[in-house]
Structure 1
Amino acid sequence: MNVVVIGAGAVGQLMASFLAQAQMHVTLVVRRQEQADELNLKQLKRINLDGSLTMQQIASTVDLKSLSQPDLIIIAVKYGQLPNIYKQLTDLPKEIPVLFVQNGLAHFDEALRLPQHTIAFSSVSFGAQTLDCSTVQHRGVGPIRIGIARGDEGVFNKLLHLGSALFPIELVDDAEQMLFEKAVLNCLINPLTAVLQIKNGDLLTNKQAHLLMHTIYQELAEAFVHIKRSIPFSTVIALCEKTAANTSSMLADRIHGRKSEVESIVGVVLQKALGNGYSLPTLRTLYHQVLAIEESGERY
């Protein structure tokens, strides 16, 4: 398969590395020519969980239109960069399948307005961290769940055969529900870690942080009656344990002074809850705290 990955952040680099290792021809589309030049000059390096190093030759470009027609386009940029990507996708052949890899729900309806015949969405739970323009560290194993919103699932069935113990891939039936469940998990971890400036594991060892997380879970379970069945609190605990040493994406954004995805993750969940008649006061307070921190320009 000829796969194009748009976005060379932690998620994009890790996916590109594993796909190239599975004998895919992978091209990374990046924003800066300097990064494209470095990736083309050097190999993409992945530091594995055991400390070993895996290197893959990855082509890189800043111009999506310059590429021959790929078998699959994977979009691994943050939500705020999607409007520019949408414009580029409308000029590409409609037969090219597209896979969106973003947190939150805000992009779901937007993406389905694109002309592409096959559109899928993904929820990733692996841990990854970029160390430089051409090096990514694999920090935790977690499945890549893919939900096909419309079109042909053939290309995604091929991806299933590429999965491994370190890079598991699975298909799910309901793409929107998958994204909602991931957004709920993000709501329970990301804003708390960003405001309190703590690692994921501290949500279990810090009694007050754990109490806040449980309070948010109870609020969500009241607003969305299926949550206790689909996401028991034990699942939240297990995720915090599994990613104990990780810095959440929202905290990483605060550390680096970047705008976070709090609107597309927490804001959309708050809006859905309000439609059900629930305001989620604890989560809403955290939401406004994150926004206030961003507005003030405060860093870690």
Structure 2
Amino acid sequence: MKVGIVGAGAIGLLTAKLLEDFGHQVLVLQRTKKEVPMLFQTPSGDLEMVSFSVTDNWEDVESVELLIVATKAYHLPAVLPQLRTYPGPLLFIQNGLVSNLVAKKLKETANVFGSVDHGATIQDGILMHTGHGSIRFGGEEKFAYLATELGPVLKWESHIEHVLLRKAALNTLINPLTALLDVRNGTLSENKALQRAVISHYDELILGIPVLEELLSLEDVFDLIKRTSTNTSSMRNDVLRGEETEVDYIVKPLLEIAEKEGRYLPITGYLYELIQSKRGEYDRKYT
């Protein structure tokens, strides 16, 4: 299958490499003419070459059978206008809840949404696959055929909205705290006071968004914290670099979901505003 991927970050390039390994023709679209890694490191440490094509010309992806949008969520407002003439299907695999934004900007386009659980980073010019996971996607049933075409890299998920909500909640419970305190994920389970803070925040989320209690247990939260104990959250990385964060697409949607039901999330709102305060640092750096 001929697949285009918009975004040459770690997740976009990893998706390209995984699809390439299963014989698909992949073209990666990047915003600027920058060098992309030509070396790929597997989770076991083996090095391989990558051979997918890279372009900075939107016209090059017009003929692909599927276009995967793998940019950061905060880049979507700039990217979506470029996609208005693309007939679809479009698969969005951002870290966060972006369906409302996409629906407003691309009313006539066929869209599906996905969640990536693989670990990936780019370090010293090498694309590193740091942990095996999955890419699950879903939406209108008519697009389920893509899982057959692109399996086992992509897997169909009938209730993708629950998968995405669960992931947003997990990120909300972990990322803002680690970013504000400048600590790795594991500190949230090792420090007793931070353990209690996570528990209080979890209790607030399941009271404010009751469906979360069926999707996410407290044990799940601490299991993820322990499994990623040495990791630095993406939000912490963004804050450390003085860059924009994805807080508007991870945390803010949870606040909006609760508010629609007449419920309020004071802890979540407080963390959201603290992360937003870092926006001033980003604005001073880039404006």
3-state SS of paired residue (1:28): strand
Report if the CA contact (8 A) 1:16-1:26 is conserved: yes
Instruction: Give the ranges of 4+ consecutive aligned residues of structure 1 lying more than 3 Å apart after TM superposition.
Output: 115-118, 296-299
- 1:278 deviates by 2.7
* Map of 1:126 onto structure 2: 118
Cα distance change of structure 1 residues 115 and 150 upon mapping to structure 2, 3 Å threshold: farther
Q: Distance in 2 between matches of 1:215 and 1:124?
A: 27
- 1:174 deviates by 2.4
Name the aligned partner's letter for residue 145 of structure 1: R
**1:132-166 deviation digits (Å, cap 9, x = unpaired):** 5x521112222212112464321233222x33xxx
* Residue of structure 2 aligned with 1:154, choices 141, 145, 148: 145
Cα RMSD of the aligned pairs, angstroms, is: 2.1
Q: Distance in 1 between matches of 2:185 and 2:15?
A: 23
3-state SS of paired residue (1:122): strand
Give % identity. 31
3-state SS of paired residue (2:270): helix
* Residue of structure 2 aligned with 1:47, choices 41, 46, 66: 41
**1:250-286 deviation digits (Å, cap 9, x = unpaired):** 0111111111011111111112112223322222211
Q: Confirm whether residue 103 of structure 1 aligns to residue 88 of structure 2.
A: no
TM-score by length of 2: 0.91
Name the aligned partner's letter for residue 128 of structure 1: A
Gaps of 5+ in 2: none
3-state SS of paired residue (1:99): strand
* Map of 1:264 onto structure 2: 249
3-state SS of paired residue (1:274): helix
**1:16-67 deviation digits (Å, cap 9, x = unpaired):** 111111111111100111x2xx34xxx6322121211121212111112134
Gaps of 5+ in 1: 164-168
Q: Distance in 1 between matches of 2:31 and 2:197?
A: 38
Q: Confirm whether residue 56 of structure 1 aligns to residue 55 of structure 2.
A: no
- 1:116 deviates by 5.7
Q: Distance in 2 between matches of 1:59 and 1:144?
A: 21
Name the aligned partner's letter for residue 65 of structure 2: D
- 1:117 deviates by 5.2
TM-score by length of 1: 0.87
Q: Confirm whether residue 75 of structure 1 aligns to residue 69 of structure 2.
A: yes
3-state SS of paired residue (1:112): helix
Matches within 5 A, 1:208-227: 208-227=193-212
Report if the CA contact (8 A) 2:117-2:133 is conserved: yes
